[in-house]
Amino acid sequence: MILSIIIPVYNAEKYLRRCLESVFTAVALGQTKVEVILVDNGSSDQSLKIAQDFATTSPLDIRVLHCHTPGAAAVRNYGLSHAKGKYIWFVDADDEISKNSIKLLVKEAEKTNSDIVMMGATRIYGDGHKNYLSAINPASSDYKSRFIRYGAGPWQFIFNRKWWIEHKFAFTEGIIHEDMEMISSLILYTDKFTSIDKPLYIYYQNPDSVLHKTTWDPHYLDIFPALEGLYKRFERAETAEKYHDELEWFFIWNLLIDSAKDFKKFKEGRKGLKKSRKMLKTYFPNWRKNRFLGEKPLKLRIRVRLNYYF
């Protein structure tokens, strides 16, 4: 088995068939042995039926599993524990992969003997407009710095499964932002990194997702244990000082730009703004002097400072 595609499934009936059809096309063109692991997480809609019907009628090697621990982290960990492929790819049920993705990714991984292969992705918003998420160039002298600051989702990579298991990587369960808590630290454990800067993944910014709700969710506060967990990973690898500026910028971006948008939308988010200030004072009291922040446009720098004092 060359590649295991692990797809968490939870109430994704509107999107799952589209995702699986894209996988079917990519597998057919890839001409390599692929298994698809669909892990249902207690869906209450027709997702499980769609998954089972596809597994029954498709020529793909599809397994439908059931994970009773809630959350994407638990589902990904569970799916990985059943994977057999040399490489693993975490694909989200509401997204698609391009028709030539598997062929190109596996070829690149085999040619370079890489532990991590990154790909470019097209991001499609709810109103239909698009932008491109580029892949990091491994030839760049600061590619590890860029990787740490990037904040990519797990779907933007394929990973060598043996390497993953040897380092005992696992998503932290019980929180959202579980990908943020781990992904940026993975580059600390390998020099075998490559990328394909082409749009091999189609990421839909789904308004139904847990990160884009229109009502307050206490899990928005999971940003804090996620960032604490990430920092501890760098401490365990004895690299927190080496990558101080990168981590500082990562905290600034996620607390004062990304999460601040959610906190400011809801009255319950006031506590999040207060916790953001406290976290920055604890970990990075001199964050205003961050070199990556200093490179940003004046408008963004002003917004960051306003969000800090909001």
CA 268 distance to own-chain centroid: 26
pLDDT per residue as tens digits for the range 152-196: 999 999 999 999 999 999 999 999 999 999 999 999 999 999 999
Which has more confidence, 99 or 216?
99
Question: Which position has the token pair 């997480």?
Answer: 41
What pLDDT sits at residue 223?
96
Q: Does residue 146 carry a pLDDT above 60?
A: yes
By the 10 Å C-beta count (0-12 exposed, 13-18 middle, 19+ buried), 68 is classed as exposed
Question: Can you spell out the DSSP letters for 67-129?
Answer: --S-SHHHHHHHHHHT--SSEEEE--TT-EE-TTHHHHHHHHHHHHT-SEEEEEEEEE-TTS-
What pLDDT sits at residue 64?
97
What pLDDT sits at residue 212?
57
What pLDDT sits at residue 213?
62
Beta strands 3-9 and 87-90, pairing class: parallel
Q: What percent of the chain has pLDDT over 90?
A: 88
The contacts of residue 91 (CB under 8 Å, 6+ apart) are 5, 6, 7, 19, 23, 97, 155, 201
Give me the CATH code for the 3-209 domain, please: 3.90.550.10
pLDDT per residue as tens digits for the range 38-86: 999 999 999 999 999 999 999 889 999 999 999 999 999 999 999 999 9
Under the banding of pLDDT at 50, 70 and 90, the label for residue 37 is very high
Backbone angles phi, psi at 274, to 5 degrees: -65, -40
Side-chain half-sphere exposure of 46, counting CA atoms within 13 A: 8
What pLDDT sits at residue 207?
67
* pTM for the predicted model, two decimal places: 0.94
Q: Does residue 21 carry a pLDDT above 70?
A: yes
Contact between residue 89 and residue 3 where contact means Cβ atoms under 8 Å apart: yes
Q: Residue 98 corresponds to which tokens in the numbers above?
A: 């391009």
Q: What is the mean pLDDT of the chain?
A: 95
What pLDDT sits at residue 310?
80
What pLDDT sits at residue 215?
81
Q: Where along the chain do its domains lie? A: 3-209, 213-309
Under the banding of pLDDT at 50, 70 and 90, the label for residue 30 is confident
- The partner residues of 35 in beta bridges, in order of sequence, read 4, 61
What pLDDT sits at residue 194?
98
CA 92 → CA 17, 141, 240, distances in Å?
Answer: 12, 31, 31
pLDDT per residue as tens digits for the range 199-249: 999 999 876 655 556 788 899 999 999 999 999 999 999 999 999 999 999
